[in-house]
Structure 1
Amino acid sequence: MISLEAAVLASIDDIVFAKDLEGRYISGNAAWARLLGRRVGELIGCTDADLFPAEVAAGFRRHDEAMLAGGIATMNEEAVQFPDGRHALLETRKCPLRDDAGAVIGLVGVCREIAAPRR
């Protein structure tokens, strides 16, 4: 039987992922895997540097670190390229991922495609 968490992730059309404090992906949904052109299981343990061009990965990490330093949810726009070559602009909301005691153990991100990037 599928867990409630897995059923929720599978039901969401938006890109959803979670990372640990070192920036390694620890979870994600099918929309996230489609963005990267891989299966979810192949992505767990990867960092942005493993999956995106260096400049893009560095930008993602800067956004992650700023959100974690502030300790509150943030919203930003991020340009991405899908495996088929299509470019898109994502509105990305990131928030701290906390354990049962309230300690920050990583982050959760939810991305929605809003437009093709402006050039």
Structure 2
Amino acid sequence: MADKDLREKIDTWLNFKEKTAVAGFRPSAVHKTVPGATEKEIEEILMSLVIEGRLKVEWEIMCPECFSLIRTTAQRLEQEIEEYCWHCGREVWLDTFQPVFYFPGKKARHGTI
């Protein structure tokens, strides 16, 4: 899919979602409505919109054992970290950080759960 076409489809999706109660979303949510594009392509365009100031991004750290949210950070960590999951009781090494995009002005989820 051409970058321009993909960008237009993402802009259409964002314009619709921005008028709803949706505050945050993952690239996979956009991917479901934009067939023919990869999640990586979508994530790259969403990151460019962060640079432009249209979106904000935070990074979720999930437990690989029980898939519970361990922490949300403003910056993507570049190294593995050791964390304790309060849900399943395991100490885990984490190297997977999932981006969550937010519309400016809408409340983002912060902190540790």
TM bin (shorter chain): under 0.3
TM-score by length of 2: 0.26
**Max radius of gyration: which structure?**
2
Richer in strand (by share): 1
TM-score by length of 1: 0.25
Of structures 1 and 2, the one scoring higher in RCO (CA 8 A, sep 6+) is 2
